Structures are given as C-alpha cells and as structure tokens.
C-alpha cells in the first residue's frame, strides 16, 4: 500500500485513510511512504489538537516551551516548522523527572519538548493502525477502545466457560528501561512498516538522550516512560509474547 497516492484534506479523509491502513495491514499488506502521511497538514493539525487536549501540554521539556508558545504562531509557519522537523529530525533530549509510586519509590519519566511530542503523536497516529491490525486480540493494555475492565471481563469469561483454574500475575522488571532498539525496529519492519525514514525517526526518538541536573545521559537501550509513543512501542515489542497464549 502506497500512502502517497491517497488524498487527505480533512479529518474524515484522514480517518478513512487510517481505516484503510488497518484493513490492508490486517491482510498482511506492506505499507510504504508512511512519512508522506506524517507530513500531511491534517495529520499535523490532529496531532497538535491531541497534544493541546492533554494536561501535560503545560509541562515544558528542556527548551522550557509550552504548547501555548506554538499556538500563538501563524498556522502556516507552524506547519512548515513541523514538516521541516520531520524531514530533518533531530530530537532534543528528554527532561528527567521523578514521580512517586504506590510503594513510595520513585518512577523516572522522560519529558520530551513540545515539538518532539507533536512528532511522536504524528508518528503514533500513522503507525498505530498498522500495529493494531497485528496485535493479539486479547491484549488490553495501552490500546484504543480497550481498558482494564475489558481484561477483567475476559478473565471472568475464561474462568466461567473453560477448565482453566490457574491465573498468573507478573511484572517484567524494568521493562521500559531494557527495550532493545534494533530488535524493536526489526519487529516494526516485519509488521509491515516499510518506510525506513519513519523507522529512522523512531530510532532517533529512542536515542535522544536524557537530561538530568544539567548532565546529558545516553539512551542506547530502553524507551523513556513519559513519551507519547512509548506505550505503543511497548505493545509492538511484546506482541509476540502476547501471542504465546494457548
């Protein structure tokens, strides 16, 4: 499927294109020219609206710029800025902050700049339907139109309608900190994401580095918690594990 052949001039056409991407991916079609949809005006506008609607848009990255800084710009100027950033992507390091966990320990979060958040959201919008078409049908975490209640309902259904009487609860220790970048990129390629420019953008996101107390740390492995695209990348990485279910 070649996305450059599709006209997207409004929100409905964008949704129609995303639905078509899902349908093609479900049929194991390979998706090309994904970056053209990323640079589309409607995709960019949708991503900006999504970022604006999130209360986190009031939290700045290392450049100290909030969403309002960009919303005050001329629309054409902002669109050109984002398209240029996509074409020559060079993300800034994420800002390391810590939030308390239930066990009184601290969870590290990586806060990207607003521009990097917009580009992450653009990327999420266009690759999510490709991945969703491949995900295990009973995977419920970090997925659109699914939540913990659906997972609980599935467990109840299995218990009531089968001989299953064993449940296993587990947690992958430091999962987000140990995602292998090259393996993740290879998984996305095998899923049908056949635009190396987009995969290169994702790789740069993962390797943007972390700024903490004025010191820049590398990020050769892992995906920062706090990134918009991180939950989707986590599901992509773990999909083969999910599919091990009998």
The average pLDDT across 124-138 equals 96
pLDDT digits (tens, 9 = 90+) for 159-198: 899 888 788 888 888 888 899 999 999 999 999 999 999 9
Report residue 208's pLDDT band, with 50, 70 and 90 as the boundaries: very high
The average pLDDT across 11-40 equals 96
Task: State pTM to two decimals.
Answer: 0.92
pLDDT digits (tens, 9 = 90+) for 173-182: 888 889 999 9
Number of C-beta neighbours around residue 38 at 10 A: 25
Out of 43-47, 128-132, 161-165, least confident range: 161-165
Comparison of pLDDT for 5 and 218, the residue scoring more: 218
pLDDT digits (tens, 9 = 90+) for 64-76: 999 999 999 999 9
Euclidean distance between CA atoms 34 and 165, whole angstroms? 45
User: Could you tell me whether strands 94-100 and 210-212 are parallel, antiparallel, or unpaired per DSSP bridges?
Assistant: parallel
Closest CA to 234 of 218, 27, 226, 81: 226
Closest CA to 122 of 55, 40, 194, 209: 40
Between the CA of residue 59 and those of 15, 88, 92, 147, what are the distances in Å?
Answer: 29, 25, 15, 26
């Amino acid at each position: 499927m070649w996305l450059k052949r599709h006209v997207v001039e409004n929100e409905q056409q964008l949704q129609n294109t995303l639905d078509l991407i899902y349908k093609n991916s479900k049929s194991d079609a390979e998706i090309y020219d994904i970056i053209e949809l990323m640079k589309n005006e409607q995709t960019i506008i949708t991503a900006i609206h999504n970022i604006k609607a999130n209360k986190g848009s009031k939290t700045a990255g290392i450049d100290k710029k909030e969403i309002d800084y960009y919303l005050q710009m001329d629309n054409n100027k902002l669109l050109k800025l984002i398209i240029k950033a996509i074409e020559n992507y060079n993300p800034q390091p994420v800002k390391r902050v810590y939030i308390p966990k239930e066990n009184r320990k601290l969870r590290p979060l990586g806060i990207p700049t607003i521009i990097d958040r917009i580009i992450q959201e653009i990327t999420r919008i266009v690759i999510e339907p490709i991945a969703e078409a491949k995900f295990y049908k009973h995977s419920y975490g970090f997925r659109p139109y699914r939540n913990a209640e659906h997972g609980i309902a599935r467990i109840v259904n299995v218990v009531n309608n089968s001989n299953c009487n064993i449940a296993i609860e587990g947690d992958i220790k430091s999962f987000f900190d140990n995602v292998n970048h090259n393996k993740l990129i290879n998984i996305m390629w095998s899923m049908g994401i056949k635009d190396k420019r987009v995969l290169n953008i994702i790789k740069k996101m993962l390797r943007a580095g972390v700024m903490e107390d004025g010191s820049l740390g590398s990020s050769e492995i892992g995906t920062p918690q706090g990134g918009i695209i991180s939950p989707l990348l986590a599901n992509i990485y773990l999909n083969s594990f999910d599919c091990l279910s009998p």
